[in-house]
Amino acid sequence: MITTNGLVKTYGQVTAVDGVDLAVREGDRYGLLGPNGSGKTTLVRMLLGLVFATRGTIEVLGVPVPKRVHDALPRIGAMVEGPGMYPHLNGRANLTLMDAAGPGGGRADRKRRIGEALERVGLAGIDKRPVKAYSLGMRQRLGLAAALLRRPQLLILDEPTNGLDPRGIREIRELLAGLNAEGTTVFLSSHLLGEIDALCTRVGVMDRGRLVLQDELAALRAETGRVLVGTPEPERVIALLDGRVEQRDGERLTVRHPDPGDLNAELIKAGIRVTALGAERRTLEQVVLEATTTSSDRVEGSS
């Protein structure tokens, strides 16, 4: 669906995107994760032909970009850096203008498409207020509705949940998962680790313009070789396992052991009560911190 090879974008002496080899496959829910300023939005804009690469190649839906981007755009729904709307018009009027710019369809067909898109993003009861009076969350929802007008084969979204409250974030996550289940490939960029972790099946991590990690989320969450054990008898477990308990937090223990089943059998044989037991897996946060070098936006004072 999306392939880039050696993709580079420079602005003068600044390299915004540095040698990125992106691979988004059909059916993916792909999350591009990275802090603000890591090159995510520049990369997304290049995929849509809005910014030209300095070097490298891009292919989206089987066609080269930007050379033949217009062949792919009718099959792509996109929202980049927030929805671009006419602020003095209401939401339906904005979508009507956007849909009219697309190929084919009579007035009744356009009205139906707009109604369906608004309903999917939770704006079915939209009123006649101009967009300039909308909240940020409403504007984000309207931008998503615009991206869905043509039932796209590929969705490319930049920070799609920006400005939404927790309930709105969950609703959009469920919407994107549903669209993916119906056959739409979803590619989204975000600086919110939790958003990527909850939705995506495949993850890429950007750091200082480079794609430093790209893999299936399930593979990234590999087992650590440790087991999490809950027991009302932690002292007995510590004594039995003779140094294999690496960490204790009340009745919760972290045990170095390759097989949770064997460990459970060992504890039961010793007559120890076990309330919870399972293999420890790496979190996405741990994976990202290990893969990146970019610090936070703290500014330390000089001594």
Domain membership flag for residue 236: yes
Instruction: Work out the mean pLDDT of the chain and round it to a whole number.
Output: 90
Same domain, 44 and 144: yes
- Under DSSP, the state recorded for 203 is E
Domain membership flag for residue 210: yes
Q: How many whole angstroms separate alpha carbon 192 and alpha carbon 194?
A: 6
Domain membership flag for residue 303: no
Point out the domain boundary residue: 171, 187, 220.
Answer: 220
b/e code 193-205 from CB counts within 10 Å (16+ = b) = bebbbebbebbbb
pTM, 2 dp: 0.82
Cβ–Cβ under 8 Å, residues 28 and 3: no
Q: How many whole angstroms separate alpha carbon 150 and alpha carbon 153?
A: 9
The pLDDT tens digits for 14-25 are 999 999 999 999
Lowest-confidence segment of 1-10, 38-47, 283-292 by average pLDDT:
283-292
Range of the domain at 269: 223-281
User: What was the pLDDT predicted at 162?
Assistant: 81
Quick one: pLDDT band at residue 294, thresholds 50, 70, 90? low
Q: Is 107 left (phi over 0), alpha (psi -120 to 50) or beta?
A: alpha
The pLDDT tens digits for 138-167 are 888 898 999 998 889 999 999 888 878 888
Strands 202-207 and 210-216: antiparallel
Q: How many domains does the chain have?
A: 2
Domain membership flag for residue 298: no
Q: 258: which residues sit within 8 A by CB, 6+ positions away?
A: 225
Same domain, 68 and 206: yes
| Mean pLDDT, range 37-51, rounded to an integer | 94
The pLDDT tens digits for 165-178 are 888 888 889 989 99
